[in-house]
A and B are shown apart, each in its own frame.
Chain A
Amino acid sequence: MSDVRLRGISKSFGPVRAVRDVDLEIERGELVAVLGPSGCGKTTLLRLIAGFERPHAGCVVVGDEVVAGPGRFVPPEKRQVGMVFQDYALFPHLTVEANVAFGLAALTRSEREALTLRTLELVGLQHKARRHPHELSGGERQRVALARALAPEPKLVLLDEPFSNLDASLRAGLRREVELILGDAEATALLVTHDQEEALSLADRLAVMREGHIVQVGVPEEVYERPASRWAAQFVGEVNVLAGIAHGTGVETELGLFDLRAPASGSVHVAVRPEQLELSADHDGNAEVVAREFRGHDVLYRLRHEGGRTVLVQLPSLLLHDVGARVFVRPAASAVTTLVD
């Protein structure tokens, strides 16, 4: 039984159709990430679920309640949907404690204090309870925002680009931490991001959004390995799209023969991830190294193939090839590719 259901949600701003006919279900306790480029309508989708915007069509169900639909609109304060804003939107005149307690006005004083403390402990900020937001670091503010959203025990937590305001060095650690906190709180959560790495590593399931549409939904591995379209393949990670001739379970391309996930025949395009290629130093090789991006544990090479096209190859950084070197590029042994448009 899913906890949150969106059915045919649409929203326009004037002539701009920000969200078009979106369907999405989120299971209880699940963390779903909506991934899309900026301007694809993902923030609008969050605001529709939170109740800050009214959909023009479709309905939003949270728990057992229809919160938006034909002839029905529940205002945001009655939806029990928590939101973590991109810039946190902490109340600057209130302490950390009072920020977290803001949504607990209905409780008695002692209940409120206990729950506030418990939530602050969950995010590890009980020692900063009396500070004001401006006295905190970016990461601490983020955790306060999360605690504030979680404290009223909402049916759903929405996170709008929660890590985009943080330094890259902080991001990975906080991502883990947020994942653990959400897990501990057993919260159902929807996260919106344009950062594919973030979405892939954090989400239980991923919804890829483009121009107001959701173009693919699935677990991260599935979305990465079996992109639904060329666009999705290119947006989620790096990819080489190669033309080839399919013969049943194999496809012949200019880089060699790849296995196909599903049998096909005739002229096709396949998505080949950079790590599905191999290369070796070879003076008579079929490609030349044009650029090299060293990323620590691995290296991304940009090659010029003798056919003229650019090919991306990712390898462990055990053996480095220099820029300008001749290499031979071929399919990796285990490479299974997917057809794209």
Chain B
Amino acid sequence: MRRADGWTWLTICCALLVAAPLVGLPLSFVAAPGGLAEFSGFVPDALGATAILLVGVGSGTLVLGTGLALLVSFCDFPGRGWVEWALVLPLAMPGYVFTLFALGRDVPGIRSALGAVCIFTLVLYPYVYLLARAAFLAQSRTLLEAARGLGLSRRAAIVRVGLPLARPAILGGVALALMEALADFGTVNLLGVRTFTDAIYRVWFNAFDRDAAMQLATLLVSVTLTLLLLERLARGRARYHQHAATGDVVPPVRLSGLSAVGALVVPIALVGVVVVAPLAQLAAWSVESIREGLLSPEFASAARNSVLLAAMSAVLVPMVAVLLAYGVRAGGSRFAAGAARTATIGYGLPGSVVAVAVIVPLGWLDHRMNAAVGTGLLLTGTVIGLFYAYLVRFLALAWGAVETGLMRIPRQLDDAARGLGADRLDVLARVHLPLMRTGLATAALLVFVEVMKELPATLLLRPLGGDTLAIAVWQATSESLFETAALPAFLIVLVGLLPVAAMIRLSGRRGAELEAAQTAGAWAEEYEVTAI
């Protein structure tokens, strides 16, 4: 048995830093038993709304995402290449921005759980779509041909062989979409749907009861973790299936006439409603707001705050991810690998949960330090707390990209470098970092975009006067100042389009159809699934 070296310890420290607050959440039930009693009405409401969201968004994204994936994977029609990628664009549209659009256009019946279900389905179906499409394209022609040789029609073969083979991927996508829906705060809050995230916000801000907030967060986490577990289980099998499938890609059926027109028009209309129309409307409102001086006076500082927070996180979070991933590689112990995995559980957890989880240990430290040396509220009263929350929440995102990059570097290069007199830090600086450039850039971009969009944690932890673009959108929208909300929302969507565009370009350059889909799948994975 080898002694744990410095790298292993470093990994463990990082992991503790990130995971400890989350592990502490359930302790709130011990610390303040019955803390929820005062808010007992919140729990049934939240459970009811959560159930509606799970069922509605689950079936909505399942049908929409799988249907569209079937269409582009097994059918060929003029413009298919465009449709394939256009369908990914809704990834760039945060729920609360689409809500702003829907509220501003006064869509009837939108202020309801059903309205929330519709919005989530429209902006979250790409998760199912991407994973299902990757799974369909990875299927071997041989299997489907075998089914047809056994007397099944083409359609029956797809239904009885193609779909079941892709089931793990599809379910994985649905679980992801559901996790996003449960984590959302902006949409449900603006629509007046009483979910857990909304309850946490109200308990926190209106009653200022941290214990109750932590207990609500614990309840929400248990739902999310169950989904995460389901997703992992589904994905485990998905890998197996994809490896088992070899052979040619399934040749698509050529559509013609009305069906070809329909295959082109329906997806384009969908993307038009989810992305193009809101962007056009936001642009129009933005122009109006600028012309009529409706822009909130804090707009400039919110934009600056957003960019600063996002940029600094985009440096900080990948840096920690590199330390963590490198610790696992250099330390080489199974313990370090386990620690790293623990450190990435923050992802997939709602921002409000993370905020509630980090505030308690930070608050405790603050009081200690203040009592000792009079530092004031150094951690909770400044952006430090916010950065901590971003680190906990987005570390997995950066870790996935960084670790993928690191794994592609053969260990022989480490050995070669060390044999040439380089110690471990040298190897990192002279071999790994230069080779990981792409992975690091990806990590930085992803974190940047996510921090720009992030609403609930920022809302709960921002220091006084530290509004961001996302908060500006939410605030103006909740006061029905749609024109005021438009410009910040417009900017958030534009930034959000960056990684989506990068993904499309990346896979376009690689050329081959299958590879493109796999890249997209891997990307979707890197983008959202890297937890645990």
| Chain A residues engaging chain B, CB cutoff 8 angstroms | 47, 50-52, 54, 75-83, 85, 87, 89-93, 102-103, 105-106, 148-149, 152
Given A89-B410, A93-B435, residue A106 in contact with residue B421 (CB < 8 A): yes
Question: Does B154 sit at the interface, judged by CB under 8 A?
Answer: no
Add 13 more A-B contacts to A51-B418, A77-B421 (CB < 8 A): A47-B415, A51-B419, A75-B418, A76-B419, A77-B423, A77-B426, A78-B421, A89-B410, A91-B416, A103-B422, A105-B421, A148-B420, A152-B421
Contacts of A78 in B (CB 8 A): 421
Contacts of B416 in A (CB 8 A): 83, 85, 89-91, 148
Q: Are B435 and A89 in contact (CB under 8 A)?
A: no
A330 vs chain B, min Cβ distance (A): 52
Closest to B437 in A: A93
- Bound CA span A91–B417, Å: 9
Q: Are B420 and A102 in contact (CB under 8 A)?
A: yes
The 29 listed contacts between A and B (C-beta, < 8 Å) are A47-B415, A51-B418, A51-B419, A52-B418, A75-B423, A77-B418, A77-B419, A77-B422, A77-B423, A78-B421, A80-B421, A85-B412, A85-B416, A87-B410, A89-B410, A89-B413, A89-B415, A90-B416, A91-B413, A91-B416, A93-B431, A102-B422, A103-B419, A103-B420, A105-B421, A105-B422, A105-B426, A152-B420, A152-B421
- Bound CA span A54–B431, Å: 24
Among residues 402 to 418 in chain B, which have CB atoms less than 8 Å away from a CB atom of chain A? 410, 412-413, 415-418
Contacts of A149 in B (CB 8 A): 419-420
Among residues 491 to 524 in chain B, which have CB atoms less than 8 Å away from a CB atom of chain A? none
- Bound CA span A48–B60, Å: 58
Q: Are B415 and A102 in contact (CB under 8 A)?
A: no
- Bound CA span A152–B421, Å: 9
Question: Does B430 sit at the interface, judged by CB under 8 A?
Answer: yes
- Bound CA span A90–B431, Å: 10
Question: Does B434 sit at the interface, judged by CB under 8 A?
Answer: yes
Contacts of B2 in A (CB 8 A): 54
- Bound CA span A47–B416, Å: 11
Q: Chain A interface mostly helix, strand, loop or mixed? A: loop
A175 vs chain B, min Cβ distance (A): 22
Contacts of A92 in B (CB 8 A): 435
Q: Are B422 and A50 in contact (CB under 8 A)?
A: no
Q: Which 3 A-B pairs have the closest CB atoms?
A: A103-B420, A89-B412, A89-B416
Q: Are A50 and B415 in contact (CB under 8 A)?
A: yes
Given A85-B412, A87-B412, residue A93 in contact with residue B419 (CB < 8 A): no
B456 vs chain A, min Cβ distance (A): 41
B: number of interface residues (CB 8 Å)? 18
Per a CB cutoff under 8 Å, which of B419, B426, B431, B434 touches A83? B419
Per a CB cutoff under 8 Å, which of A54, A76, A152 touches B418? A76
* Residue among A50, A80, A85, A89 with most chain B CB within 10 A: A89
Closest to B422 in A: A77
Q: Chain B interface mostly helix, strand, loop or mixed? A: helix
- Bound CA span A106–B426, Å: 12
B436 vs chain A, min Cβ distance (A): 10
Contacts of B421 in A (CB 8 A): 77-78, 80, 103, 105-106, 152
Contacts of A148 in B (CB 8 A): 416, 420
Q: Are A83 and B415 in contact (CB under 8 A)?
A: yes
- Bound CA span A323–B418, Å: 56
A138 vs chain B, min Cβ distance (A): 16
- Bound CA span A105–B435, Å: 19
- Bound CA span A82–B419, Å: 6
Contacts of B430 in A (CB 8 A): 102
* Residue among A47, A76, A92, A148 with most chain B CB within 10 A: A76
Contact indicator per residue, chain B 1-40, by CB within 8 Å of chain A (1) or not (0): 0100000000000000000000000000000000000000
Q: Are B415 and A52 in contact (CB under 8 A)?
A: yes
Contacts of B415 in A (CB 8 A): 47, 50, 52, 76, 83, 85, 89
Closest to A52 in B: B415
Contacts of B420 in A (CB 8 A): 77, 82, 102-103, 148-149, 152
B437 vs chain A, min Cβ distance (A): 8
Contacts of A105 in B (CB 8 A): 421-422, 426
A83 vs chain B, min Cβ distance (A): 4
- Bound CA span A220–B416, Å: 30
- Bound CA span A77–B423, Å: 6
Closest to A82 in B: B419
Closest to B415 in A: A52
- Bound CA span A152–B435, Å: 24
- Bound CA span A148–B404, Å: 28
Closest to B435 in A: A93
Contacts of A50 in B (CB 8 A): 415, 419
* Residue among B413, B421, B423 with most chain A CB within 10 A: B421
Closest to A103 in B: B420
Contact indicator per residue, chain B 307-338, by CB within 8 Å of chain A (1) or not (0): 00000000000000000000000000000000
A116 vs chain B, min Cβ distance (A): 13
- Bound CA span A148–B413, Å: 13
A122 vs chain B, min Cβ distance (A): 17
Contacts of B422 in A (CB 8 A): 77, 102-103, 105
- Bound CA span A287–B415, Å: 55
B22 vs chain A, min Cβ distance (A): 35
Closest to A76 in B: B418
Given A75-B418, A82-B419, residue A93 in contact with residue B434 (CB < 8 A): yes
Contacts of A152 in B (CB 8 A): 420-421
Contacts of A52 in B (CB 8 A): 415, 418
A33 vs chain B, min Cβ distance (A): 20
- Bound CA span A51–B419, Å: 8
B330 vs chain A, min Cβ distance (A): 12
Per a CB cutoff under 8 Å, which of A82, A102, A106 touches B417? A102
A66 vs chain B, min Cβ distance (A): 19
A44 vs chain B, min Cβ distance (A): 13
Closest to B2 in A: A54
- Bound CA span A76–B411, Å: 14
Contacts of A82 in B (CB 8 A): 419-420
Q: Are A81 and B434 in contact (CB under 8 A)?
A: no
Closest to B413 in A: A89
Contacts of A47 in B (CB 8 A): 415
